[in-house]
Chain A
Amino acid sequence: MTTAANVAGIQRQIKLPLTKAFEISFKSIKNRFWRTMITAIGILLGIAFLVSVISSSYFARAAAFSYGPLSPQWIAYKKQLDLGQIQTREAWLVALALLVSTIGILNSMLMSVAERYREIGTMKCLGALDAFIIKLFIIEALMTGIIASVLGGLLGFILIFLSYLGQQGTAWLHFANFGDLFKWIGISIISGSFLALIASAWPAALAAKMPPVDAFRVEV
């Protein structure tokens, strides 16, 4: 079928070069800086909470063991471990932290996309493909999400680290499994960034697929 587009030739397609997409996303973040900060802080605090819960678990074990295998501290700790009390408590804390982080990140990103439905509708009218809209929001979400998650991870780790140093001295450092801990912190940071990406790209994709008139009608 001959359409106007085919007749015009393949050279005149619609495109959004990656460099331009980065420019636009960066400008969006820069110009709504404080709004982006609030979104970022939502992500940061969620990941900080999660990382501090995980760090506490590793440091508490190390601290108890640092007193010696025959010490009252370790015996008490081991008793709770055998009864499953420590695992239950830690599992509950991690689950809670995951829930809080997830809801916090989802809320932040959903709000920030919903505010811009009109903008998305406008871009569709200017000829943007759905993929452009999604690309722009993914870039923004990754920029915000990665930085916020990394800072959150650092914050959570450092706070708990300093707190244990202050309370327990340095003996426990020798017994803490930093390798494992850093692995889990890395996973948390990646999860935070990934969640921010999904929580932003999904609603943006939905908005992009709407007929523009519906996107304009949305009132936030």
Chain B
Amino acid sequence: MAYNAAEYIVRTKSLVKEFTLGGETLRALNGVQVDIRRGEYISIMGPSGSGKSTFFNMIGGLDKPTEGSVFIDDVDMAQLDASELAWLRCRRIGYIFQSFNLIPVMTALENVTLPMIFAGTPTDDGIEKGIQLLTKVGLAHRLHHKPSELSGGQQQRVAIARSFANDPAIILADEPTGNLDTTTGEEIIELLRLLNKEKGVTVISATHDLKMLDVSDRIVWIRDGKVDRIENRSDITIDVGRMQGED
């Protein structure tokens, strides 16, 4: 199969990660190879301890592999110096975390415009764009509230707006619905799906949530530090049940 450079936005090669804990070496990742296409919505699934989070941290540049390489846009992450890596995180990747990770002393608008400050966007343009993004996620009326004044779902929506601040090519979502109730989680999933379709942004999520799998294009199953299988959404059947009285 001919390899088209423009097609793959993230590629990993023989990724290995070892942790030394209390004198013992733990091999969290044992040779992982995944190619992610531009504009794709891909979910990484796996039980606890499978290496899913470790793998996720590798492709997001949040941690460094012991062996192997991660290529983002055909650029080897290990070759990047600190300022190039920072540029990548500022301009090309947006992060969404399970625990939201908003800056507690800043308002929603200030949180969303912070990455724009780093990118050198003029203040007024930044504020305007920040308001647009927050309106898009449904928080136009909560611009000047601090995270402590927002519900979990609202905080996650601020985090999503923030991740889009500098028009990234990739969104990395680590268990985005982990700390949210079912209904709010569904809203977040729908929001990410919409943004993926509208903006053509590649969404990579690590998740346990079957409803997230439902909207993915492909699913990577990780088990014991290795890729178990990669499936297209169309190849699998997902039955998500509802409990009576859940709403």
Chain A residues in the interface with B (C-beta under 8 A):
1, 3-5, 8, 12-17, 20, 27-28, 30-32, 118-119, 121-130, 132, 211-214, 216
- Contact with B75, one of A3, A12, A17, A129 (Cβ below 8 angstroms): A3
In this assembly, does B104 line the interface, its C-beta being within 8 Å of a C-beta of chain A?
yes
In the complex the two chains form, is B62's CB within 8 Å of A14's CB? no
**Which of B86, B88, B101, B146 has the largest count of A CB atoms less than 10 A from its CB?**
B86
Write the nearest CB–CB distance from A191 to chain B, whole angstroms: 29
Compute the total of residue contacts between A and B using a CB distance below 8 Å.
100
Q: Cβ of B88 and Cβ of A27 under 8 Å apart?
A: no
Give chain A residues whose Cβ lies under 8 Å from the Cβ of B166. Answer: 127
9-residue interface stretch from B114-122, B127-135, B194-202, B216-224: B114-122
Tell me which residues from 66 to 106 in chain B have a Cβ below 8 Å from any Cβ of chain A: 72-73, 75, 79-80, 82-84, 86-92, 95, 97, 101-106
- B62 partner residues in chain A, CB cutoff 8 A: 125, 211-213
In the complex, chain A residues whose CB is within 8 Å of the CB of B110: 27
B89: which of A1, A20, A31, A127 is its contact (CB, 8 Å)?
Answer: A127
Whether B118 and A14, one on each chain, are in contact in the complex, defined by CB atoms closer than 8 angstroms, is: yes
B38 interface residue per 8 A CB criterion: no
Query: How far is A90 from B146 in the complex, measured between Cα atoms in Å?
Result: 51
Q: Nearest Cβ in chain A — how far from B131, in angstroms?
A: 19
- Minimum C-beta distance from A177 to chain B (A): 46
Q: Is B57 positioned at the interface, with any CB of A under 8 Å from its CB?
A: yes
- Contact between B57 and A213 (Cβ–Cβ < 8 Å)? yes
Q: Does B228 contact A (CB under 8 A)?
A: no
